[in-house]
Amino acid sequence: MIPIVKPYIPPKEDLMPVLEEVLYSGYIAQGEKVEQFESELINFFETKNLLTVNSGTAALHLALTLLGIGPGDEVISTPVTAEPTNTTIGLTGAKVVFADVESSTGLISASSILQRITSRTKAIVVVHYAGMVADMSEIYRISRSKGVPVVEDCAHALGASYSEKKLGYYSDFAIYSFQAIKHLTTIDGGLLIVNNSQDCSRAKKLRWFGLDKTISRAQNNISEVGFKYHMNDVNATIGLCQLKFYQNNVQKYFDHGRLLDQGIANPKVTIPEYHRSTVPAYWLYTILVDDVEGFNAYMMSHGIMASQLHKRNDLHEVFKSSLELPGVDEFYRHFTHIGCGPWLEEDIDYVIEIINKY
Ligand SMILES: *Cc1c(COP(=O)(O)O)cnc(C)c1O
């Protein structure tokens, strides 16, 4: 069965020597390797202020903490996502207020965000679902006019861009995940991009109990209690090695995604339209059909895994709300996903052929 997601691990002969070296180096905590990984990420994202952490979830929680979000506040978010987008909001004590999504992409709807903003709204969390990029021009316009910051959840969207820049460049906060099945895995790990250096140094303390790593323990003074969210040198070593294999790995999602975009021609199958000035990252390939169960069964009978993968988050007891979400209802009636990553290399033509024969 061709899977929807699969971890990519660099070849043994490249990964094992560097891994062995760090493991027996006498230093495996957060150190030089983390710094190196961060400086490579600074080049990749063309941004100055970022920090690695031990998960995308930790990065989200830090972003919300930096914004001072807590009980009594509201955060606008989407139910079409993986749960950590919303459990981290829950952790702060703030209320998750679901905006509706565009029924053709599953991406958070800018007009619905505008409707949900109240005096208690402290942030808008935007998920670039399945690697498609949300309507950022509109969302930034709303954010500016209402004075509500944007937190981008780019866990599905490594390499995607808006207006010529990698996602995160224009936002107050953006997070990425290096979890097992994301585009680039450090086994577990995450990244927080922030747009100013004060937030960055505060976040660097908050990821390590509130201690400042740049001065000695004895001289340290915790002025704000933090978490244990730092990345260690072992995970960073894997990340550095993964970056060397970017073409072999992350780039393949884009190559296969574009081949699917161009190759799918079947009146019974619709593919989403991407927003202007955006380049999607194709973490999952999204397809819209009338009969989702029938299509999934057809694909699986041909050895291709197809599924919705995520449960709509508003169906979880803790996130239940009475807000109407017709776009979410409609999207869930019609969407499914297939895989798009490097493991499709040999099979991409076959996958297109099977879709076109449906
Ligand atoms: C994976 C994921 C996260 C969290 O990342 P972890 O590294 O697993 O903590 C957050 N948001 C979305 C949409 C994700 O898919």
At residue 309 the predicted structure's pLDDT band, cuts being 50, 70 and 90, is: very high
pLDDT of residue 256: 98
User: Does 155 contact ligand 1 (Cβ within 6 A)?
Assistant: yes
52 close to ligand 1 (CB < 6 Angstrom): no
**Measured distance CA(139)–CA(75) in Å, rounded:** 14
- Spacing, Cα 182 to ligand 1 middle (Å): 8
Q: What is the mean pLDDT of the chain?
A: 97
Inform me whether the pLDDT recorded for 53 exceeds 90. Answer: yes
Alpha-carbon distances, residue 306 vs 42, 253, 298 (angstroms)? 35, 16, 9
Query: What residues does 63 pair with on adjacent strands?
Result: none
In testing the pocket of ligand 1, which one of 80, 151, 182 has its CB within 8 Å of the most ligand atoms?
A: 182
Six token digits for residue 219: 């001289």
Going from the Cα of 156 to the center of ligand 1, the distance in angstroms, rounded, reads 8
Q: Closest Cα to atom 8, ligand 1: which residue?
A: 179
Q: Are 123 and 75 in contact (CB under 8 A)?
A: yes
Q: Which residues are catalytic?
A: 182
Residue 231's pLDDT band, with cuts at 50, 70 and 90, is very high
pLDDT tens figures, 126-141: 999 999 999 999 999 9
pLDDT score recorded for residue 223: 96
Q: Is the pLDDT of residue 332 over 90?
A: yes
- CB of 240 sitting under 6 A from ligand 1: no
Residue 327 in this model has a pLDDT that exceeds 90 = yes
- If you average pLDDT over residues 233-247, what whole number do you get? 98
Q: Tell me if 54 CB under 6 Å of ligand 1.
A: no
Encode pLDDT of 197-228 as tens digits.
999 999 999 999 999 999 999 999 999 999 99
User: 289 pLDDT exceeds 90?
Assistant: yes
* pLDDT at 321 (0 to 100): 86
CA 350 / ligand 1 centre spacing (Å)? 30
**Across 68-89, average pLDDT:** 98
313 lines ligand 1 (CB under 6 A): no
Measured distance CA(191)–CA(88) in Å, rounded: 15
Closest residue to atom 5 of ligand 1, CA basis: 56
Phi/psi for 230 (5° steps) reads: -70, 155
Q: What is the pLDDT of residues 135-172, one digit of tens each?
A: 999 999 999 999 999 999 999 999 999 999 999 999 99
For 8-29, how does the pLDDT look when each residue is reduced to its tens digit (9 = 90+)? 999 999 999 999 999 999 999 9
Task: Please give the distance, rounded to the nearest whole angstrom, from the Cα atom of residue 198 to the centre of ligand 1.
Answer: 25
The structure's pTM equals: 0.98
**Most ligand 1 atoms within 8 A of CB, residue of 89, 152, 154, 179 to mutate:** 179
